[in-house]
Structure 1
Amino acid sequence: MTDDDYKHEIANRIKYIMVISGLEIIGLSKFTGISDSHIYSILNKRRILTNKVANRIGEKFNFDGKLIFNLNIEIPNSIAKSATLKKFLEDNKLNYYYFLSNRAERKGRLFIENILLGSDFFENPKFTWEVSEECVKYGRHFSSNEINGHLKYLVVKKLLKSKKAKIKLRNGKEGARMVDVFWKPNLHISIMVDESS
């Protein structure tokens, strides 16, 4: 694994902490006392995560911050139950810009953008139902219509590309219906698509 790959994985783990805790970058900054510019730099891979910052995050969420560096161990979901976090959420419930989930219509898009796009999930073309199943693995449940809308929004933002393709059914077989399939823009893929779309 290259240094860039490792920075990418660390950034994904920080994003995952944000999703579990429900905090936007500004909220994570206020909660941990780490500047938002520092957090941005880690997420954008311009800075490395130091032991000091990892320990600060761990201290606030009540887990060993060194776990962030170990890619073989999952970030514990129990961080969402941290007493310090609960107090922060209660004390700041009116500061809507601190939180990922203060507007329901943004939750799915932010989850897909911050977590799934940051992983290798979209390295291969995905159908809406596949995205839905991946969200469920993280404990996130959104309707197919919600997810499809979020994916199309990410296409508009040029974070994803899409084309029409014959749907792949859950049993692995190809269906007759033409639906959207989504993938990262930088990929060179060969997929049977409807070029007329």
Structure 2
Amino acid sequence: MRLLSIGGSGRTGQRAIEHALARCHTVTALVRTTSSLAARPGLTIVKGIPLSQPNIEAAFATPSTPQAVVVSLNSPRQSDKPFANPFAPPRLMADSHANLAKVMEKHETRRIVSTSAWAMRVLVRRSNLCYAYEDHEAVDVEMEAKKNLEWTLARFVMLRDGEVLPVMDHGDRGEGVGLMASVTRRSAAACLLDATEGSQWVRRTPVVLN
């Protein structure tokens, strides 16, 4: 399968690309800095950002139209501390998805699988994390309006380092998920590829953890 990776230079995105290549898919990665990814067979690296529709068009044409899009974007913060101040535009993810949807519909690419997030709402609303979660919620609005797209918004619970482990789907509402639940980045990356290859999560927002 020909895949377009958005956010592929991030920690989860790089692992998703690794899984895709290991499964014999070909990948075009749209990244701000081309040196952020190592060149390897099966991977085409295109310079650009998903906030630019022309940049996405360029990625769709290099080398050929993708059959699916895998998004692992997140709102960057000033440090890795969970409550650090954000410095991304407030609708980074929402506007990126809106641009992707326009190009996908033009080229008749229907499948898009994106990382989303889930957290205890009380905790989030009282911290700097609220800005990222508001952006994730705006992505929901953008995607749910696209009746021609087969979208999945995988809500990963507190990403951590670690190996690929079995994952559990706690439904679209995450009922019964505890405060300290988590999922490894490698598990999340494998999950993104599983969802891209399958149809079990089409038009769903599954809450996923190990």
Give the TM-score, by structure 2 length: 0.29
Structure that is richer in helix per residue: 1
Higher RCO by CA contacts (8 Å cutoff, separation 6 or greater): 2
* Bigger radius of gyration among the two: 1
Structure that is richer in strand per residue: 2
